[in-house]
Amino acid sequence: MSFDMLQEKILAFRNPTVAGLDPKPEYVPEHIRKAVYAQYGETLQGAAEAIYQFNCGLIDALRDIVPAVKPQSAYYERLGWRGMEVMERTIRYAHEKGMYVIADIKRGDIGSTAAAYADGWLGETRVGEKSHTVFDADCVTLNGYMGSDSVNPFLEVCKARDKSCFVLVKTSNPGSGELQNIAAGEGSTVYGVMASLIEKWGAGTEGKYGYTRVGAVTGATHPKELAEIRAMMPRTFLLVPGYGAQGGTAEDVRHAFHAGGKGAIVNSSRGIICAWQKTGKNGEDYQEAARNAALAMRDDIGRFLDME
């Protein structure tokens, strides 16, 4: 689905946020873990299965209030192929429940290798005379350090299958400035040059809300840069990590939005999926805790927006 679909879901739910599904085994409440480990042991298979059950419970609890989920590939890869199998199943389950899925993979490679990633994550993989969808996310995150050769193969698949991508611009981590804030080009910075490239790559793919298929990742923890990037990239949809645990506030992320609360989506991962660890209970309330945290985030961010 394109950003049009995402924007529509956001407006329908009056909620410009995405829940990051970044599960470690220890984030899964004990009652789920115990039952699964009793069957599979403390194995990679056991961890993967526990995470799948946890993800499904979270999706069930969030599907009617949060428009999108963002599974982070690292937490699945660390369980090997069994984790990747659960990533595939999680994406499928989220789709069945009507959620938009951003696969947070931050891939960046060139030519036929970029095309191979695009096949797997957004497109189809050909085997002999047959084609198969694989992960089939709606959207992926990308790293554009290698230039247009690393983004164009994804963009081709996005156009063919009505999908989208986000490319890193200014990330939320403390050390992001080591490269990204270095002065570069004519009066710009490395992230500024990247922002210009992204606007160029996306040009001509604008949808009904005016946003291209090539979005940008800009962290909530750098509000000055966030405001600057919003102004520099008027046609670019923004994915904003760093709210909550990393220190970004609702007042910080307001800079990411256009009028009507359009043009951006804010992520929270642990703030939602680990909310049960702060209720003082045993984790059996994880769905309620995640839902309450998601509603609180929606309302917190909404205070600064003029969503219709």
Check 24, 97, 106, 159 and give the catalytic one: 106
93 Cβ contact partners less than 8 Å away, ≥ 6 residues apart: 55, 56, 59
**Chain residues 32-61 in contact with a second copy, contact rule CB under 8 A:** 33, 37, 41-44, 46-47
Q: Which one, 8 or 109, has the nearer CB to a second copy?
A: 109
**Chain residues 91-110 in contact with a second copy, contact rule CB under 8 A:** 106-110
Helix axes 190-202, 223-232, angle to 10 degrees: 30
Cα radius of gyration rounded to whole Å, the chain? 19
Binding mask 182-221 for a second copy (x = CB under 8 A): xxxx----x--xx--x------------------------
Whole-number minimum distance, CB 250 to a second copy, in Å? 22
Is 81 an interacting residue with respect to a second copy (CB under 8 A)?
Answer: yes
Q: Which one, 9 or 33, has the nearer CB to a second copy?
A: 33
Two tokens, residue 72? 């982070």
Give catalytic status of residue 106 as yes or no: yes
Is 222 an interacting residue with respect to a second copy (CB under 8 A)?
Answer: no
SS3 sequence, 183-244?
EECCCEEHHHHHHHHHHHHHCCCCCCCCCCCEEEEECCCCHHHHHHHHHHCCCCCEEECCEC
Q: Which one, 105 or 305, has the nearer CB to a second copy?
A: 105
Amino acid, single-letter form, for residue 15:
N
**Chain residues 122-181 in contact with a second copy, contact rule CB under 8 A:** 125-130, 132, 134-135, 143-150, 168, 171-180
Q: Is 19 helix (H, G, I), strand (E, B) or coil?
A: strand
Q: Which one, 102 or 305, has the nearer CB to a second copy?
A: 102
- Burial class of residue 8 (count of CB atoms within 10 Å of its CB; 0-12, 13-18, 19+): middle
Catalytic residues: 106
